[in-house]
Amino acid sequence: MGWATLEGKAVPAVPTPLSLDLRRRIVHACEQAELSQPEIAELFQVHRKTVEKYWHLARTGQPLAPKPHRGGPCRRLAGHEQHLRTLVAAQPDATLARLAEQLSARHGVAASVSLLSRTLRQLGLPRKKRA
């Protein structure tokens, strides 16, 4: 996971869900109606839209608990790793564009140069070119 800088502090680039306890405290503060939503957001150090979202969920009877992680998109080249290994072994100095063409022609899998580059790096395959 990457890191970003927020107000001079390193924070995860992908935010984690707020705890259920914090969500309940935000909703409780909204129910008390002593503070405005922007003031509640400032109090709990969250965005105003976050307060609005949790208040809406509570008013409509929906659960406040964070939804489970759905996972990322399926890897397009999943299941074709061995084909890539074979192509690279046969032509270790082939360009990424050439590997993409061969993968498409032989196996009907369309892959961009950047996708091939990431996949080869993940598979630990060398990308050295002959001089």
* Mean pLDDT on 3-29: 80
Amino acid at 43: L
Residue bearing tokens 């950047």:
114
Contact, 20 vs 57, CB < 8 A? no
Structure tokens at 27: 């909703």
Query: What's the pTM value of the predicted model, to 2 decimals?
Result: 0.51
For the cut 50, the answer to whether the pLDDT of residue 1 exceeds it is: no
Domain residue extents for the chain = 17-66, 81-123
pLDDT 10s digits, 41-67: 999 999 999 999 999 999 999 999 998
pLDDT at residue 110, rounded to an integer? 87
Contact, 48 vs 37, CB < 8 A? yes
Beta bridge partners of 10: 5
pLDDT 10s digits, 76-112: 788 888 888 999 888 888 899 999 999 889 888 888 8
The CA distance from 12 to 39, in Å, is: 25
CB atoms within 10 A of CB 26: 24
